[in-house]
Amino acid sequence: MSDNPLTDAAASGLYHLPPSRLPIVESAACGAHFCLLKADIAEPAPVENVLSQLGSALKFPIWYGANFDALYDCLCDPDWQPATGHVLLINGMARLRATDPDDFTTLIEVFQAVAEARRERLEPFWILIDTPARGIPAFPEA
């Protein structure tokens, strides 16, 4: 068994990442040769802008429509950012929750559905958000 917590596809999913754990995760992603992408939700904005920011930061294809269905489709597409594993670091989620709690909840649901779909395919796929949310566990300790 690997000492790298990110290589366990069965444990991958959506987690809250406390800032103190960020260097550990970045090092582990690099050590596993995973695709590591960071997205920052820059300011309180309509969800369409948030989804557009995510599309740009996560390097989605040109056909990405900046809606929840397209977000799910891109993140589940095996041809998007081919890699042995993925780690997505999403910052600024508290801004979306403060300005639009319903869209925040929908975004969390999409992230959970993506993580479940990838986990079922035994692909290490980690979505780590900077904001605690109901039902979202903290990233596991090593």
CATH number for position 105: 3.30.370.10
Strands (E), the chain: 14-16, 35-40, 86-91, 125-129
22 inside domain: yes
Position 92 in a domain: yes
- Residue 30 confidence (pLDDT): 94
55 in a structural domain: yes
The answer to the question of residue 36 being in a domain is: yes
Q: pTM of the full predicted structure?
A: 0.93
Where in the sequence is the domain holding 19, given as residue range(s)? 12-129
Residues 18, 54: Cα–Cα separation, whole Å: 20
pLDDT of res. 1: 45
What integer pLDDT is reported at residue 142 of this predicted model? 59
Domain tally, the chain: 1
Asked if 64 and 70 touch (Cβ cutoff 8 Å), the reply is yes
Instruction: Tell whether 2 is covered by a domain.
Output: no
Helix (H, G, I), strand (E, B) or coil at 37: strand
Indicate whether 120 belongs to any domain.
yes
18 backbone dihedrals φ, ψ, rounded to 5°: -60, 145
Q: Which residue has 């809250």 as its token pair?
A: 16
Q: What confidence score (pLDDT) does residue 2 get?
A: 61
pLDDT in tens, the chain (142 residues): 468 889 999 999 999 999 899 999 999 999 999 999 999 987 767 888 899 999 999 999 999 999 999 999 999 998 899 899 999 999 999 888 888 899 999 999 999 999 999 999 999 999 999 999 999 999 987 5
Residue 136 falls inside a structural domain: no
Element (H, E) at 117: helix 101-120
